[in-house]
Amino acid sequence: MKPVRKAIFPVGGLGTRFLPATKALPKEMLPIVDKPLIEYAVDEARAAGIEEFIFVTGRGKSAIEDHFDNHYELEQTLAERGKQDELEQVNQAKLDAGQVAYVRQMSPLGLGHAVWCARNLVNDEPFAVLLADDLIQADTPTLAEMVDVYETHGGNVVSLMEVPDHHTSRYGIVEPGESNGRLVEIRGLIEKPAPADAPSNLAIVGRYVLQPSIMNHLSEAKTGAGNEIQLTDSMMAMVGEVPFNGLRLEGIRYDCGTKSGFLAAGIAFALMREDLAPEVRERIGRLLEAE
């Protein structure tokens, strides 16, 4: 099996739920404490051994490109002022030359279409897909665990979590087969089914390890739920072609595509910081007392 060296980050969305904040700022650049959402996803990919980072962008997303690039004036100013901690944080975000690529998704035709836009950069290698909206707080990076599953079983691997039955219409839902601890065989998938049509309450979280042959299915450009080209539909076409497993999520997933999930993530990640936690707890306590 070829190793998983490449990761796709679909970041072409308009971020309409966060308007007017996202009128000029990409949603993926909104900060959780002091680091943008997209950097958390990139850090998770790095921890899983990813070497090539492919961003599928759209209009108005140049801030993402700038964030992972050199910023000579800022770096020089920080160095001159002796702000070494801040300089180190800025340098940690940078990706090396030749390690990053950007491709445009000309039209917002769905997640499957965004992944397909990177087909020429993926070529014949397995690859990961990370959705920055899904921020996962876990002791071991989720994608690293999924890569371990891939290296043992091959094929496709997705991250799974249980959702309330009445929420199945918000997610891609799997039809599970045999289970072995956190590992679940996948026998089928369906995108955003009504509760009555859902084969389970196991939903796909925004982490995938996929075989390059999925691009053949995505090339058919078949539309599904929401009249979009769904990644889930092409994964369904691969059931039986390659081994297909899901790994139950171990950690907490924050849906940062919603305002409440984004705010909850900010509080949770602030409480993990020794320099912030005491004051944040105090301020939250005051707010609750004032209600």
pLDDT digits (tens, 9 = 90+) for 128-140: 999 999 999 999 9
DSSP 239: B
- Indicate whether 14 and 134 sit together in one domain: yes
- Indicate whether 43 and 160 sit together in one domain: yes
- Answer whether residue 1 is part of any domain: no
pLDDT, position 169: 92
Q: CB of 123 within 8 A of CB of 101?
A: no
Among residues 106, 93, 31, 32, which one has the least CA distance to residue 65? 93
How many domains is the chain partitioned into structurally? 2
- Indicate whether 174 and 196 sit together in one domain: yes
pLDDT, position 260: 95
The pLDDT of 191-214, averaged and rounded, is: 94
pLDDT, position 268: 96
- Indicate whether 199 and 232 sit together in one domain: yes
pLDDT, position 158: 97
pLDDT, position 142: 96
Beta bridge partners of 210: 127
pLDDT tops 80 at residue 35: yes
What CATH number should be reported for the domain holding residue 140?
3.90.550.10
- Answer whether residue 201 is part of any domain: yes
Q: CB of 272 within 8 A of CB of 254?
A: no
- Answer whether residue 86 is part of any domain: yes
- Indicate whether 287 and 200 sit together in one domain: no
Q: What is the pLDDT of residues 143-199, one digit of tens each?
A: 999 999 999 999 999 999 999 999 999 999 999 999 999 999 999 999 899 999 999
User: Rounded to whole angstroms, how far apart are CA atoms 36 and 38?
Assistant: 6
Name the residue range of residue 191's domain: 6-252
- Indicate whether 91 and 12 sit together in one domain: yes
pLDDT tops 90 at residue 93: no
Beta bridge partners of 254: 135
- Answer whether residue 226 is part of any domain: yes
pLDDT, position 286: 92
pLDDT tops 80 at residue 291: no
Indicate the pTM of the whole model.
0.93
- Indicate whether 268 and 247 sit together in one domain: no
Q: State the DSSP H helix or E strand holding residue 74, giving kind and residue range, or none if neither.
A: helix 72-80
166 CB contacts (<8 Å, ≥6 apart)?
A: 195
* Residue 211 tokens, joined: 């075989």
pLDDT, position 72: 87
pLDDT tops 80 at residue 226: no
- Indicate whether 150 and 247 sit together in one domain: yes
Calculate what percentage of the chain has a pLDDT beyond 70. Answer: 100
- Indicate whether 199 and 92 sit together in one domain: yes
Q: How confident is the model at residue 5 (pLDDT cuts 50, 70, 90)?
A: very high
Q: What is the pLDDT of residues 12-27, one digit of tens each?
A: 888 889 999 998 899 9
- Exposure string over 39-54, b if 16+ CB within 10 A, otherwise e: bbbbebbbebebebbb
